[in-house]
Structure 1
Amino acid sequence: MEERTCLKDLFIGKTDGAVESKEDNFQELFYDPFNKYKELMSGKEKFLVLGFKGTGKTYLAKYVEAMAKRGQYVNIVGENDFILCKLNVMSQEKLDEELANALCKWFLLDRLARLVIESRPIRAKWIPFSKTYSLNKFLKYFESDDIFKQVKMIAESTKEMKTQCETSLDKNKKNRKYSILGTKNKGEKYSVENVRKEFFELIQPLEQKVFKAIGKRDSYTIIVDDLDEIKNNEESVGRDEVIINMLKVAREYNLKKMPIDLKYVILLRTEILDDLQVKYSNLNKTITSCSVELYWLFDSTYSEPYNHPLMSMILHKIKKKSQKYSNYSNKELYELLFPESIDNKKPLDYLLDYGFGRPRDFVTFLDCAQKMCPDQGCFNAHVMKEARKKYSPCFYEELLNQSAYYGNPEFVTQCLQLLSSVKKASFTHAYFEAIYNEGKDNYPCIKSVDDALKFLYKIGAIGNSWKVLQGNGIKKTHFGWAYKKDAMNDVDLSKRFTIHYGLRKKFSM
């Protein structure tokens, strides 16, 4: 008798792409229905990867890294690398607009230089006359004509006749100083100090050294992730300016004709770039010609649920990890594991309603189902309903996490608390305002009901709903969500609002 397979035995993927990339057969597990890997790597002009949080940007970056062959070097860097680089090269914490561009250029060159050194460790450490060795010395602040400069000469009248030479090095080994005291003429004293140049004065020599160190047959790709995690500083240029300048510098190098094979890739959340377009008018041409977008919500183009890219992704992973199901067709496996409707909804539609149309939502929901009912043999209606209890709090926490970009966590939390007080899945502006006025003292960060509704719509916590009369005389309800391409970017305050299904269990609805 064939052994029964339980849900706990199925591999449906990991919520974190970086974690899944550690799987032994990651390259087989990787699912790319729209050929985004090929689009990204087809040329240097495609360097910006866009997608909402959880759509697979880091996952794609890990695949690029995994696919690197001999002579191809890939490094993924994040906000921590940028912060450490900033602390290492800047003598002051304040970052103005002019320094922002220079710092981004230095950061990208520095990451490239370190990757070159890492790829050629013997030359970098043991062959003094190699270009990689020279580059390694440069980064370690060895004495060099490029690194030091004369900063001042002071002449004053004195009767002393002496010559003295002093060398000092600060505790961070960053500002080595040579002070020379002596006399030019009798009765005249002078002082000359040589100190290390500022990082922006060293950009050109660093660029020259790193480009010379790259072999003609080698290929280097630097992928920058998690820029949205950089914290804003009220007293200096903020995260938005850093992101904009990082895009400018990456575009400059990618589109510049060079004798070396070099590519910079920037991963960025779609909603962040949408916000930045309001501030920087020239962004649109970069988005149009240089971006690769990750978007999975093409509902109407798939007649069969098992062919929808998100459901097909789940089935693909199960088949790649389970020998038992490896030869099943998508149709056979779907009908076996998703045998029935849930609340008169097809399993695919049910899963789409409970998320934002991202791979992470599907994986998280089905992972919750596995944990709630590990010994069940399929994702039946009972299992899917049980999964909501565990999934809804996870969805809520994910919403809080992705809203951190907008700052003011108190405002975010209070908006969601106000929404939870509604206790109705569908409501009007007037009803929401009444709930707000009733407990206004509990929401000191919310200055306007309209602001709260606009924000809740922007993060996907609510959507617009309206009825449209069909040809048969029956009214059909339509929905608009900010995360869907076919919806308005801004909320319509005159229409009704509906609370996202993923939050309803958390809000006891």
Structure 2
Amino acid sequence: MERLKLSDIALGADDAKIEVENASSEKNNFFREYYFESVVSQIDRFYLGQKYIVRGFKGAGKTALLRYLSIEYKEMYGDVVEFILFKSKIRESDRKNMSVTAGMQFAETEGVSVFEQNFEDIWVWFIHTKIYSIIKNDKLLFLNDESFKKYFDFMESFSDPNVGGASSISNLILKDGTVKLKANFSVFSVEWAQNYGFDPKSGKMPIDKIADLATSLLKKCKIADRKIFLFFDELEVHYASEEMYRRDCRLIRDLILSISFLNEEFKEANISIRLMCALRDEVLSSVVLFGGEVNKIVADRGVRVRWDSPVRHQDQPIVKMIEKRFMVSEKHYLGCVKNNDIWTTYFPAKIEGQKPINYILDMCNFRPRDVVRLLSLIAEIHPNIDNIEDNHFRQIKKEFSNLTWDEMTQDLLVSYSPNEVEFIKSVLLNLPRKLEAKNLAERFEGRAISSPEGSSIIKKKKSWMGVLEDLYRSGILGNEYFVKKEKKNRWMFRGDDVLDKTLPVAIHRSLRSSLSIV
């Protein structure tokens, strides 16, 4: 029987960005070949602009989907694609300056004065600078008529020569909420002064006016055959402080609103520019608390990447994903698919007493990243094996559990500080396999008496049951119970959206080793 070494199988990477960013055309084509679309029915709707928000749990494959679409559009259609990464490219200094530029407003809500900021105009202008940087390098994307020349000259008129390129967002807007033009630039200045608040003496224009004018000018342009796609990824929030948390939630809220606004404007003008973004469910839950119509936009224009399906284990999408990666790898290295049943070819008959499919589904939370991590850990230790054994899974169990805990707690860090997350972990250590929800809440309450972190959590969350609900949403906690001696369970990643506090709770199996639960 001819088999591949484990190191030759396209298991993928923890982060799809690392896997395909700056990769060769050959590697990108290989990625396209083994990529498995869990939302295959929606692919055309993304291209047409009917859907433009990808949502899902951390590790569900949102970035992989965006990267797959970018490769597909670029390689198949010759379209122009660019990624903007919120977490790594919009620096803390940028966010501070954006906050200063946005200023402060106070709104009355049910008789209470509420602090508010609006970043929409800043984001709209930022997006225009990205579009400008693309067309500056490829003017053939648009028909070179008077409307295009007017938009291009307008965008070119700003003092920063790197606008839209290597410069940071901080360099695009002054702290007084204006954008400065070149001192000697006089074309259209009379019209600007009359209708858009342009001050010829200072060369400044208010950010809200300049964003409106840029959109109005671009809508009159005619794009050529190719499309432009801007992908926004890494829209993440971390609870470093209350102030930063609220600011970043508003920034992401207004980025989503700006993406929606411009997509609708471009659609109305029949301009083939598509803006797309990926958003974690836990971040979305925080962002919607800050108002706007984000929930409605996500419901109408979003697609949720999920891998649970009401079918037999062997027909689950994530199982099909694993099978496809093994088979495509065989075709790539051996010339054809040699083994149609990868489970009997590459896996043991049982893993800790379970069939391989059942074991992997149980351990991996129906998330592609967990599957990649589980199998990659084995491949790192045993790259030259062509048949995985039961003891190989036992070897990496502790490390896999620790890494999975780190992954799941990323969702907690949206609304808890790192020290608060450590307190939560200390309470979960050495828990029984199963206990009543109220008993776990009481355990938290008892430990919090002598803990500053516990006190800050209860002040924030009001009740320990609220903490259990957060643990449930992150996948750390679930319901496990019996009905007529038949084991039942409820987990967020299986589509059960709410923790049932009347049923026993349990820590997810993948975390038991990390939390010393036996």
TM-score (structure 1 length as normaliser) = 0.78
The corresponding residue for 2:80 is: 73
Contact 2:249-2:290 at 8 Å conserved across structures: no
1:264 matched to which residue of 2? 275
Q: What residue in structure 2 maps to residue 49 of structure 1?
A: 54
Q: 1:450-503: per-residue Cα shift (whole Å, max 9, x none)?
A: 34323322221111122212xxxxx11211112321x142x2333211111111
Cα RMSD, aligned residues only: 3.6
The answer on whether the counterparts of 1:51 and 1:295 sit within 8 Å (CA) in structure 2 is yes
Pairwise mapping of residues 356-371 of structure 1 onto structure 2 (< 5 A)? 356-371=365-380
Q: Please, which runs of 5 or more residues in structure 2 have no aligned partner?
A: 106-115, 162-173, 184-199
8 A contact 1:222–1:265 mirrored in 2 = yes
Residue equivalent to 1:244? 253
Q: 1:458 aligns with which of 473, 490, 508?
A: 473
**In the TM superposition, what whole-angstrom CA distance separates every residue of 1:339-358 from its partner, at most 9, and x where no partner exists?**
31223322122112112211
- Shift of residue 88 of structure 1? 7.1
Instruction: State the 1:199 CA deviation.
Output: 2.3
Q: Which runs of 5+ in 1 are unaligned?
A: 143-168, 179-191, 470-474
Q: Alignment partner of 1:301: what SS? A: coil
2: distance between equivalents of 1:29 and 1:49? 20
CA–CA separation in structure 2 for the residues paired with 1:437 and 1:174? 52
Residue 176 to residue 492, structure 1, CA distance change in 2 (3 Å) = same
Tell me, in whole angstroms, the C-alpha distance in 2 between the residues paired with 1:233 and 1:433.
24
Aligned residue for 1:273? 284
1:244-303 Cα shifts (integer Å, max 9, x gaps): 3222222223233113212111211123334445654844443333112211111x3136
Q: Is the 8 A contact 2:398 2:513 kept in 1?
A: yes
Closer, same or farther: CA 493–103 of 1 in aligned 2, 3 Å: same
1:112 to 131, 137, 156: 131
Distance (whole Å) between structure 2 residues aligned to residue 325 and residue 315 of structure 1: 16
Matched letter for residue 327 of structure 1: C
Distance 1:428 1:119 in 2: 62
Q: Is the 8 A contact 1:465 1:497 kept in 2?
A: yes
CA contact 2:327–2:340 (8 Å) conserved in 1? no
After TM superposition, give the deviation of residue 3 of structure 1 in Å: 7.4
Q: 1:287 aligns with which of 298, 305, 329?
A: 298
Q: Distance in 1 between matches of 2:130 and 2:373?
A: 34
Per the alignment, residue 59 of structure 1 pairs with 64
SS at structure 1 position matched to 2:11: coil
For residue 365 of structure 1, report the CA deviation from its aligned partner.
Answer: 0.7
* Aligned counterparts of 1:136 and 1:290: Cα–Cα separation in 2: 29
CA contact (8 A) 1:18 1:58 kept: yes
Q: SS at the partner of 1:268?
A: strand
The structural deviation recorded for 1:75 is 1.4
Give the percent of matched residue pairs that are identical in Structure 1 and Structure 2: 19
**1:492 aligned residue:** 500
1:295 corresponds to which letter in structure 2?
R
Q: 261-270 vs 250-259, which deviates more?
A: 250-259
- What pairs up with 1:84-103 in 2 under 5 angstroms? 92=101, 94=103, 97=116, 99-103=118-122
1:468 aligns with one of 483, 486, 494: 483
Go from structure 1 to structure 2 and tell me whether the alpha carbon gap of 1:204 and 1:434 turns closer, same or farther (over 3 Å shift). Answer: closer
1:206-355 equivalences under 5 Å are 206-212=214-220, 215-229=223-237, 234=243, 238-256=247-265, 257-277=268-288, 280=291, 282-298=293-309, 300-302=310-312, 305=314, 307-322=315-330, 323=332, 327-328=336-337, 331-355=340-364
1:227–1:243 Cα contact (<8 Å) kept = yes
Match of 1:159 in 2: none
Output the CA distance in 2 between the equivalents of 1:479 and 1:361.
20
The structure whose residues are more often helix, as a share, is 2
Tell me by how many angstroms 1:77 deviates: 0.8
Counterpart secondary structure, 1:76 = strand
Q: Given the superposition, is the C-alpha separation of residues 138 and 63 from structure 1 closer, same or farther in structure 2, using an over 3 Å criterion?
A: farther
Paired residue total: 453
